[in-house]
Every structure is written in C-alpha cells, then in structure tokens.
Amino acid sequence: MRFIPAAAVVFAASLATACGGPLEEEAPGAEVVDESLASQEQGVDESCVGSSVVLAQPDGASVAAVFPHCSYADAAAASNDGTYDQPSCAHRFVTEVTGLAGNYAQPFVEVIPASSNVTESACKGLAIAGAAFGYANGYWYSLGSVSTTGTWYPAGPFFPAFCGLRVNIGSGGSGYSKMRVTGLGAALGVFKARVRTGVRIGNGPC
C-alpha cells in the first residue's frame, strides 16, 4: 500500500477529527536507539499499521466493537503481561478494533499496575505511551499520539487519593471502519508493565 499523493488528500479533510495524514500499510520499522522505553518517538508506533503486525497475545489482540444502547462502553484488550514486543511494532501492545462502521470512537491507553496499592512516587514513575490510527478507504490515518506519566490525584472530601493511569489519545475520530491503538507502559521508563488499549464507544444516556 502507498501514501496518498498530496493532491489527493481531500478525503482526509472530510475526516475532521483526524490529526495527521494517511500512512502506508507497510510502514518501515524503527530502531530503538535509547535504553529508556518511554523515550521512543511516534515513528515506532507508525510501523504498527502494517499487515505483519501480530494481533494476538502476548503482542496484541483483535476486538469487534459492540455498540451499547444508551450508554458508553470500551472495545479494548489488555496484555497478559509486559512481554509484548515484535519486529513490526517494537515494545507496543496493539489492539485492532473492527466493526466501527464510521461511528465516533475515542482511543485510549491504560497502564495496569502490578499492585492496586500504587503510591504517589510509583504513580509518577509509570510511563504511558501510545498512538492511534483509523482505517478508511484502504489507508491508515494518524489520530494522534501520547507520551506521559501517571497522574496523582490527592484525596478529596468524597474520595481517597488515587493514581490515574488511563489517557485518551487525541480527540477521537469518525468515518473509519476500524482503528488500531498501540500502548506501552513502563515502570521508571524501563521495565514494561501490562497495558490496555482500545476505544471508547457509545452515545451516552438516552
């Protein structure tokens, strides 16, 4: 598959929520040049739209979207552990969500900590990275990427302190038949953690 010529990107303009231009199906891989997993750039994620990407555990999953009635739902998958890695998509867990049929979907990446008792320092030491891509008319379009850390929320009058480890990628998109969402979680930026990647779908309360 090839890039769309610059003069033919009219279709991309109709995908109002897309953040980037079309990507070729077989994008070249990127070498990891830094010891810190969290320091890898989006080029690594862009290699994750090729047909050689494995969409099965431990490296990925394929999920069919099931739209809820009068609510929201996640169409997502979680890695079994932190061993996800493959030549076509280094250090990323990839979830492909099919059956979107052009409906709006909000991609996200979420780190699953080894313990439910996450301290403030451990929370801020968890790296979260990912990217999302929408597929339409034979081309992949970038929907954005994210690279951040866990967010610590101090206790309030009605809730205890907690660590926020779920991050939206871009502002979502519509007009796509499927989406791929990549994710990486790393403690101290080096030791890979379990992740959950996918999309939020649904129209909310009726």
As a whole number, mean pLDDT of residues 80-86 equals: 94
Per-residue pLDDT band for 4 (boundaries 50, 70, 90) equals: very low
Give me the pLDDT at residue 11, please: 30
**Other CB atoms within 10 Å distance of the CB of residue 3:** 13
Percent of the chain with pLDDT over 70: 78
Angle subtended at Cα 106 by Cα 100 and Cα 112, rounded to the nearest 5 degrees: 110
* Gap between the Cα atoms of 26 and 21, Å rounded: 15
pLDDT tens-place string over residues 95-111: 999 999 999 999 999 99
